Amino acid sequence: MQIESKLPKVGTTIFTVMSQLAMERGAVNLGQGFPDFAVPDFLVAELTRAMHDGRNQYAPMSGVPALRQAIAAKTARCYGRVVDADSEITVTSGASEAIFDAVLALVHAGDEVIVLDPCYDCYEPAIDLAGARAVHVALDPVDFSVDWQKVRDAISKRTRMIFINTPHNPSGAMLDSKDLTTLAELLRGTDIIVLADEVYEHIIFDGRRHESVLRYPELAERSVVVSSFGKTYHCTGWKIGYCIAPPALTAELRKVHQYNTFCSFAPAQWAFAAMIEKHPDHYEGLGKFYEEKRDHFAQQLATTRLRTLPVPGGYFQLVDYSAISDLPDAEFCRWLTIEKGVAAIPLSPFYETPPAGQRLARLCFAKSQSTLDAAIERLQKA
């Protein structure tokens, strides 16, 4: 039987490929972005409590009310934006589901969606499945800043949505207030929707402020803002995220969500509600926690032939490997995994057209110190 693929360009993700190779070769896995240290004890206890209390059946489609109310309170506290827990917040099975739901609900066949390269690999498949076309606009290859004139030039009568991601994966670059005000000016008078991927919102360094679109009323009124509990609470395997959007956008997004997953793991929702309410110190201190890891890891990398790039936010460190090899990045990362026992992620899969001669790889420092030490010992031999 012949099958015509709806995603002919899609294969196994680079994250799965490199993690599988790392496992086969016994390599230290600094590729896939997951922490290898413990989830907060309080959160685990609350999850256990929820299960023992019988909260094991379907949650409401939009999310457990206590969690949505906690998210609304946290949003007001962090960003000064008052959102309605019933009509503007939807709990999803990870940020990736929220992204998928938003695109499938709000983008139509023949539309165009602007994405900023390098961009996370789940964006374009969702756009393709909607029958739309991804329009790629390259970020600056050195500091990964946005050239807003290029974005302006990419907007057409068919543009329905633009993706932004801050802090940015894979680079860690962040949008500042000038970026957000420029975006607001650029979209004024249009019906273009913003999808703001803000999953690393609390992993911010050097005294900077996360410029969520929720801080900017003009943008918030046209945006779907996506967040991740997995990134904030070290539990990526729980796959719980959420999105915030105005009521009209939320209503459409929920039409897809209810037939995609309907609801997400109920006991975890109760646990997160308690965690947000009783331990705001966790997300408030997350930047400092990861900043110490970033700084120590950078000091360790200085003993290798890898050159580090600045990391304003997120938990990934980009390294220039040109002093070690002239191999293209995918080949270099495979060589590094097999020959030196450290798995990294190449940047080229994040691009439609990678910059010529770019020699960068992504390392995840959301790891225990023993894991990072083991990786450094091997990288020093590269």
CATH code given to domain 54-279: 3.40.640.10
- 226 pLDDT tier (thresholds 50, 70, 90): very high
Place of tokens 């970020």: 139
| Closest of 233, 211, 210, 231 to residue 281, by C-alpha | 233
Tell me how far apart the alpha carbons of residues 283 and 91 are, in angstroms, rounded to a whole number: 18
87-136: pLDDT as tens digits: 999 999 999 999 999 999 999 999 999 999 999 999 999 999 999 999 99
The answer to whether 260 and 99 have CB atoms below 8 angstroms apart is no
The mean pLDDT value for 306-318 works out to 98
pLDDT for residue 11: 81
Listed in order, the ranges of the chain carrying CATH 3.90.1150.10 are: 14-39+284-379
Give yes or no for residue 382 having a pLDDT over 90: no
Bridge partners of 162?
A: 114, 194
CATH code given to domain 14-39+284-379: 3.90.1150.10
Tell me how far apart the alpha carbons of residues 61 and 51 are, in angstroms, rounded to a whole number: 19
What's the burial of 303, exposed, middle or buried (CB within 10 Å: 0-12/13-18/19+)? Answer: exposed
164-223: pLDDT as tens digits: 999 999 999 999 999 999 999 999 999 999 999 999 999 999 999 999 999 999 999 999
What's the mean per-residue pLDDT of the chain? Answer: 97
Listed in order, the ranges of the chain carrying CATH 3.40.640.10 are: 54-279
pLDDT for residue 3: 87
Least confident of 5-19, 70-84, 257-271: 5-19
pLDDT for residue 10: 84
Q: 111: which 2 tokens?
A: 């539309």
Tell me the pTM: 0.96
Give yes or no for residue 307 having a pLDDT over 90: yes
